Amino acid sequence: MKAKVTNRWVPLLGLAIVLSIAGCVPTPTVLPTATAVPTPTEAPQDGVLTMGSWRSDDIDQMLRILARFNELYPHISIKYDIAYQPDYDTPLLAQLQGRTGPDLFYLRSFAGSRLLFEQGYLELLDDLPGLKENFTPEIRAPWADR
């Protein structure tokens, strides 16, 4: 059985996924590199995370992104789970409230994610290394707290 991955990886991958979704934002000209990732203070542990989404159109792209992530972090596996439901938000909120939700998940931009933030299901990433250097305020705006 694999150990659960600590939370320090979740925001970084979550941001990379959110900002890399095809059609949602333009591709930045300078992508964050592996050197922007904080060095863990303890040895990495094997772990499996689940990632939820409603976007079945993104399966091929996400599998490529996750394969690249896995090259950089071979001790972390991510299972991409598509919710084939017309309403993604209500089941996601129910899963989060029941503590059965995915470790990572797609967000709706602007007000669509506000409820999840206000209920404490999202973490601020304002101080994430490389965020402001690699993504303009306009690209970050749909997911900004302010």
DSSP 106-119: ---STHHHHHHHHT
In contact, 49 and 16? CB cutoff 8 Å: no
- The pLDDT, as a whole number, for residue 78 is 93
Q: Would you state the structure tokens that stand for residue 106, as one six-digit string?
A: 């797609």
- The pLDDT, as a whole number, for residue 73 is 92
- The pLDDT, as a whole number, for residue 60 is 93
- The pLDDT, as a whole number, for residue 10 is 43
Residue 36: closest CA among 17, 5, 12: 12
Q: What is the pLDDT along the chain (146 residues), one digit of tens a residue?
A: 444 444 444 444 444 444 343 333 333 334 344 444 444 455 556 789 999 988 888 889 999 999 999 999 999 999 988 877 778 888 888 889 999 999 998 888 777 788 888 889 888 888 899 999 999 999 888 877 66
- The pLDDT, as a whole number, for residue 25 is 35
10-32+45-139 carries CATH number 3.40.190.10: yes
Where do the domains of the chain lie? 10-32+45-139
- The pLDDT, as a whole number, for residue 7 is 41
CA gap 2, 145 in Å, rounded: 34
In contact, 73 and 104? CB cutoff 8 Å: no
Kindly tell me the sign of the dihedral angle through the C-alpha atoms of 137, 32, 118, 113: positive
CA gap 72, 131 in Å, rounded: 19
DSSP 47-74: EEEEEEES-GGGHHHHHHHHHHHHHH-T
